[in-house]
Amino acid sequence: MVLMPLGIPPRLRRGPYAIVLLSLICAPAPATAWAAASRPSEGDLSPRLAELAKPSVRSASPARQAKELSLAAEGPGSLLRTGNRVLVEVRFDRGAAAAVEDLRATGAKIVNVSPRYQTITVAARPAALPALSGVPRVAGATEVLTPFTAESTCPSGVAVSEGDAQLRADEVREPPFSVNGSGVTVGILSDSFDTATKSANGLQPIATKAENDVESGDLPGETNTCPGQTAPVDVLEDYEPTDPDEPEPGDEGRGMAQIVHDLAPGAGLAFATAFTGETAFAGNIEKLAGPGPEGAEASVIADDVSYPAEPFFQEGPVGVAVSKVAGEGVTYFSAAGNNNLFDAAGNEIGSWEAQQYRDSGSCPPAVASLAGFHGTHCLDFDPGSQTDKTYGIKVAPGATLTVDLQWNEPWLGVASDFDAFLLNSTGGLIGVAAGDNVEISQKPVEVLPWPNKSGSQQTVQLVVNRFAGGTPRLKLALLENGAGVTGVEYPRSTGTDVVGPTIFGHDGAAGAISVGAVPFYNSTEAEEYSSRGPVTHYFGPVSGTTPAEALPSAEVGSKPDIAATDCGRTTFFASLSAGVWRFCGTSAAAPHAAAVAALMSEAKPTADPSEIKGALLASAVPVEKSDGCAVGTGLVNAVGAVEDLLTPVPPVEPSCPVPTPEGSVEEARAPGNWGIEALPPSPPQPPIDNTPPEPPVDSTPPGTSFGKRPPKVIRTTLGNATAVFVFRSDEAGVTFLCRVDRGPWRTCPARFVRRYRVGRHVVRVVARDAAGNSDLTAVVYGFRVKRVG
State the pLDDT at residue 718. 87
Span 103-146, pLDDT tens digits? 999 999 998 888 878 989 989 999 999 999 889 999 999 898 87
Confidence (pLDDT) at 204: 72
Strand-pair partners of 499: 352
pLDDT at 36 over 50: no
Note whether residue 254 is domain-resident: yes
The answer to whether residues 415 and 452 belong to one domain is yes
- Whether residue 690 is predicted with pLDDT greater than 50 in this model: the reply is yes
Query: With pLDDT > 70 as the criterion, what percentage of the chain qualifies?
Result: 90
Report whether the peptide linkage leading into residue 560 is cis, meaning its omega lies within 30 degrees of zero. Answer: yes
Residues 599-611 pLDDT 10s: 999 999 999 999 9
What is the reported pLDDT for 663? 74
Average pLDDT over residues 540-564: 95
**Bridge-based pairing state of the strands 417-423 and 300-303:** unpaired
Predicted pLDDT of residue 692: 57
pLDDT at 698: 77
534 and 467 co-located in one domain: no
Q: What is the pLDDT of residue 84?
A: 87
| More confident position, 528 or 249 | 528
Q: Please check whether residues 346 and 373 belong to one and the same domain.
A: yes
Whether residue 574 is found in the same domain as residue 614: yes
**Does the pLDDT value for residue 242 go beyond 80?**
no
What's the rounded Cα separation, in Å, for the pair 405 and 474? Answer: 8
Q: Is residue 696 part of a domain?
A: no
Contact 466, 646 (CB under 8 A): no
Three-state DSSP at 166 gives helix
Quick check: is 434 in a domain? Answer: yes
Q: How confident is the model at residue 689 (pLDDT cuts 50, 70, 90)?
A: low
Q: Which domain holds residue 105?
A: 39-143
pLDDT (0 to 100) of residue 695: 61
Query: What is the CATH classification number for the domain harbouring 750?
Result: 2.60.40.10
Cα angle 682, 683, 689; round to 5: 130
Last residue of a domain, one of 113, 143, 173: 143
Which amino acid type is present at position 513? I
Question: Sign of the CA dihedral 308, 309, 311, 317?
Answer: negative
The answer to whether the CB of 782 falls within 8 A of the CB of 760 is: yes
What integer pLDDT is reported at residue 76 of this predicted model? 61
Asked whether residue 214 falls in the same domain as residue 248, the answer is yes
User: 3-state class of 171 per DSSP?
Assistant: helix
Q: Are residues 19 and 79 in the same domain?
A: no
Q: Could you tell me if 537 and 555 are in contact, meaning their C-beta atoms sit under 8 angstroms apart?
A: yes
C-alpha to C-alpha distance for 403 and 686, rounded to whole angstroms: 40
Give yes or no: residues 168 and 237 share one domain: yes
Highest mean pLDDT among 628-632, 646-650, 683-687, 746-750: 628-632
Q: What is the 3-state secondary structure (H, E, C) of 42-75?
A: CCCECHHHHHHCCHHHHCCCHHHHHHHCCCCCCC
Q: What is the distance between the alpha carbons of residues 288 and 117, in angstroms, rounded to a whole number?
A: 48
Contact between 169 and 180 (Cβ < 8 Å): no
Query: By percentage, how much of the chain surpasses pLDDT 90?
Result: 68
CA dihedral sign, ordered 110, 111, 116, 118: negative
Residue 33 has pLDDT above 50, yes or no: no
pLDDT tens digits, one per residue of 370-423: 988 989 999 999 999 899 999 999 999 999 999 999 999 999 999 999 999 999
Strands 268-273 and 485-488: unpaired
Strand, coil or helix: 653: coil
Q: Is residue 598 part of a domain?
A: yes
| CB distance 588 to 255 below 8 Å | yes
How many angstroms separate the CA atoms of 773 and 622, rounded?
58
Q: In 279-340, which ranges are E strands?
A: 300-303, 331-335
CB-based burial label for 246 (10 Å; 0-12, 13-18, 19+): exposed
- Here the CATH number for the domain that contains residue 528 is 3.40.50.200
Is a pLDDT exceeding 90 seen at residue 687? no
* Domain C-terminal end among 143, 163, 198: 143
Kind plus residue range of the DSSP H or E element containing 253: helix 252-263
DSSP SS3 for 628: helix
Eight-state DSSP code of residue 3: B
pLDDT at 677: 65
Is pLDDT of 28 > 90?
no
Arithmetic mean of pLDDT over the chain: 88
Evaluate whether residue 691 is within a structural domain. no
Residue 425 has pLDDT above 80, yes or no: yes
Residue 265 has pLDDT above 90, yes or no: yes
The whole-number average pLDDT for the span 320-347 is 96
| Average pLDDT score over residue span 652-676 | 85
The reported pLDDT for the residue numbered 774 is: 84
Kind of pairing, strands 85-92 and 81-82? antiparallel
- 249 and 125 in one domain? no
Residue 487 has pLDDT above 60, yes or no: yes
- Total domains in the fold of the chain: 4
3-state secondary structure of 766: strand
255 and 330 inside one domain? yes
682 is a domain residue: no
CATH number of the domain within which 92 lies: 3.30.70.80
Predicted structure pTM score: 0.70
CA distance 276 to 24: 49
Q: Which residues pair with 145 in a beta bridge?
A: 79
Which has the closest alpha carbon to 111: 139, 74, 134, 85? 85
Residue 1's pLDDT is what?
54
Average of pLDDT values for 271-276?
94
Q: What is the pLDDT of residue 154?
A: 81
The pLDDT of residue 13 is: 25
Confidence of residue 75 (pLDDT cuts 50, 70, 90): low
Over range 475-502, report the average pLDDT: 94
The answer to whether 731 touches 754, Cβ cutoff 8 Å, is no
Alpha-carbon gap, residue 199 to 376, rounded angstroms: 48
Shared domain check, 487 and 375: yes
Distance, CA of 434 to CA of 446 (rounded, Å): 7
What distance, in Å, lies between the first and last C-alpha atoms of the chain? 54
What is the CA angle 484-488-490, rounded to 5?
155
Furthest CA-CA distance within the chain: 112
| The domain boundary residue, chosen from 445, 466, 499 | 499
Same domain, residue pair 613 and 660: yes
Q: How far apart are CA 457 and CA 484, in angstroms?
A: 10
Query: Does 202 score more than 90 pLDDT?
Result: no
pLDDT at 282 over 50: yes
Is 327 found in the same domain as 195? yes
Q: Is 750 exposed, middle or buried (0-12, 13-18, 19+ CB in 10 A)?
A: middle
Tens digit of each residue's pLDDT (9 = 90 or more) over 733-772? 899 999 999 888 888 999 999 999 999 999 999 998 888 8
At 275, the pLDDT band (50, 70, 90 cuts) reads very high
Q: Is residue 235 situated within a structural domain?
A: yes
Q: Helices 278-289 and 317-327 sit at what angle, rounded to 10 degrees?
A: 10
| Distance, CA of 783 to CA of 557 (rounded, Å) | 44
Residue among 406, 396, 401 at smallest CA distance from 422 = 401
Residue 315 maps to a domain: yes
